[in-house]
Amino acid sequence: MSRLFQLAFLVSLFTFNSCAVKDQISSYWLDKRNFNSEIYSTTEANLYNPQDQISVKVFNNDLYIDIILETNSTNTLRKIYNLGLSVWIDSKAKLQNNFAINFPMPAEFPFSKEKFENYLSRFSLTEMNEEFQDRFQVYEVVNTKKNESLTISTLQEDDIYQVNLSSKNEVLFSYHLRILMSEFYSEKLSGDEIIGIGIASINVANEEYHSALSSKEYINKRMERLKTGYNKDPFELTEWWAKFKLPTKSKP
């Protein structure tokens, strides 16, 4: 069985304790901008999730959708290091797990809390950004509708996907994902489109289970060895989604 079909199968088998869906939020319309434009840093977040201590910003125009996840929590960043991060996107906002970007990929050797704090203390701001670039050079695109699973290097330019991790003066960790809008919509936006964005999470992350944010496939592989919570329930996986209305320049 291919990895892609294993992923689709596992997704269908997972039972969640809860699936929190935020109210519909309007994305920011943004005329064509450079991927590294400062406006992505200075704009206020659309949404903050206190459980994972992550803020979410979504921008779009007719060509791209930009998703920015940011956190100042060292514990959240440790979770992302240890088991990676999956961003799920559903162009019809039906909260279906049919498209994901897995980046960064999980670390081979998970960090304990103490070791991770010591690890972070070694870097200046510039060195931290260099560490992100050196350590995380591969991301995975999963599209179950097309039966595709692609592995892409961050070192190569890609016309469809762009990803970047960074640390800034006021933000410990910033994740920026840009995807061509044509991946989700075949025609020009009408202003009525609503897109769903989801992130998987573990209810209780402790020293035994090192991450709250990850791809479901990887969580499943390690679930029996790294139990979560005090009741050792292997199905403490939850998933929170947000729905974003994608405006057009003429129809905000």
pLDDT in tens, 209-231: 434 455 555 555 554 444 433 33
User: What is the 3-state secondary structure of 137-183?
Assistant: CEEEEEECCCCEEEEEECCCCCCCEEEEEECCCCCCEEEEEEEEHHH
pLDDT of residue 237: 55
pLDDT at 83: 75
Instruction: Answer yes or no: is pLDDT of 203 > 50.
Output: no
User: Residue 14: what pLDDT?
Assistant: 34
Identify whether the C-beta of residue 39 lies closer than 8 Å to the C-beta of residue 61.
no
More confident residue, 203 or 33: 33
Q: For residues 20 and 6, which has the higher predicted lDDT (pLDDT)?
A: 20
Global confidence as pTM: 0.81
Calpha distance 122→169 (Å, rounded) = 16
The two three-digit tokens of residue 213, written as one number: 């944010």
Query: Pairing state of beta strands 54-60 and 47-49?
Result: antiparallel
What's the average model confidence in pLDDT over 129-151? 91
